[in-house]
Amino acid sequence: MSSIRLLRRAGNQLVTAQILPIVSAPELIAVEAEWGKYRAGDKQSGNPAGKGIPEHNHWNWAEKSSDLRFTAYRCLGIECEGDVQGLILVSTLAASGRHKKHLGKPVLYVKYLESAPWNLSDYVGDERRFAGVGTQLIRIAISVSFEEEFRGRIALHSLPQSEGFYGRFMTDLGVDPAVEGLRYFEMTEEQVQNFLKGGEV
Amino acid sequence: MKLKEMSDSAFLKWAKAEDGAPVTAGSLRGAFEKSETEAPEHSVPVMKFAFGSLITFQRRKNAWTIEELARRAEIDLDEAVSIEEDPSFRPEPRAVYQLAKVLSLPTKKLLVLSGNAEQVSPRLEQAAIKFAARSRTVEKLTEAEMNALSEFVSELVEDDERKVL
């Protein structure tokens, strides 16, 4: 199992985490049982938006587990200190690139990406455990893209709350009316190299 | 899997950029919601009417024009107008989230009202019906509106009398 680094916020320390190269449907259900405890608050209290409830609060990975019936989908994760810290679901069925630099060439599509709720200020404020989970999940997506011979190219639809982050290292190709009006981002081969070195768009 | 190299300094930069913030990609819809193709049409159209009225009232409470609302929510002006004026219009989930954010309204409930998610509680339906009924304006008509109304009503009455004769 490959290892990566995460930033443990307590002590501001780099720690070693493990990549979970395949997360099965039963494992997803188990993860959601843990993450769901943090999501439950909104279901009962109906907290208003912008006051501590992220846009994906209603997500449920247990439901997403049904996607794994299809061989084109692959779920990977990051584990650290005994807990799953982040999950990513990708489609290895090549999507067609829309960026002018790789128009029509295959890209790896990230269907879902999420960091554990205890890593988000919205849920736990300053008590959050790790930083960099999303970054490492993107790095994992890039690595899978290379594995699939897509040269690191990836694509995703960002939730509005995350557009600013993805816009720093991916190309924003605008609102996609076909997918809930979400903004669509792609990463070119050059942007992949930039991202891995810490460079921005 | 062969992981691509990333220096600690690059990782720390991005880790700090995302620290605490939700870095999510995927869909605004969730397990309790239907997919795009099967998004529900409300059996109670009044829900959508309540949605439009709610957006209008919250906007007016802030003393914003529709243009100002569209700008703040980063949605198209024609979409904002349709949301307020056309009860048959179903906005994109992204637009609903943006509106919820700028108007400080609960996103999940707004998704339900806008027709993007299944209805989760009869209580919400009742509240929406009540709100829709009470949201019709009771403001006094302006002099110009009164004149226009009188003129139109007179025309209707005269037309009716002509038919009787």
Q: What is the pLDDT of residues A143-161, one digit of tens each?
A: 999 999 999 999 999 999 8
For an interface test with B, give the residue of A159, A183, A185, A195 to mutate (most B CBs within 10 A). Answer: A159
For A22, name the nearest residue in chain B, comparing CA atoms only.
Answer: B1
Q: Which residues contact A135 (CB under 8 A, 6 or more apart)?
A: B11, B14, B15, B17, B18, B23
Reported ipTM: 0.88
- Give me the pLDDT at residue A45, please: 45
pLDDT tens digits along A52-64 = 678 888 788 877 7
A117 confidence band (pLDDT: 50, 70, 90)? very high
pLDDT exceeds 90 at position A17: yes
The residue behind tokens 């994906």 is A56
Chain B neighbors of A53, CB-CB under 8 A: 107
- Give me the pLDDT at residue B57, please: 85
Long-range contacts of B58-67 (CB under 8 A, 24+ apart): B58/B103, B58/B104, B58/B105, B59/B84, B59/B103, B62/B103
Mean pLDDT calculated for residue range A88-97 = 91
pLDDT tens digits along A34-53 = 998 888 654 444 443 334 67
B73: left (phi over 0), alpha (psi -120 to 50) or beta: alpha
Chain A neighbors of B16, CB-CB under 8 A: 7, 131
- Give me the pLDDT at residue A46, please: 43
How far apart are the CA of A155 and the nearest CA of chain B, in angstroms? 10
Range among A65-69, A119-123, A143-147, B34-38 rated most confident? A143-147
Query: B66-73 and B77-85 are packed helices; what angle lies between their axes, rounded to 10 degrees?
Result: 120
How far apart are the CA of B164 and the nearest CA of chain A, in angstroms? 54
pLDDT exceeds 60 at position B31: no
- Give me the pLDDT at residue B34, please: 37
B128 confidence band (pLDDT: 50, 70, 90)? confident
A132 confidence band (pLDDT: 50, 70, 90)? very high
Q: What percent of chain B has pLDDT over 70?
A: 76
Question: How much is the pTM?
Answer: 0.68
pLDDT exceeds 80 at position A70: no
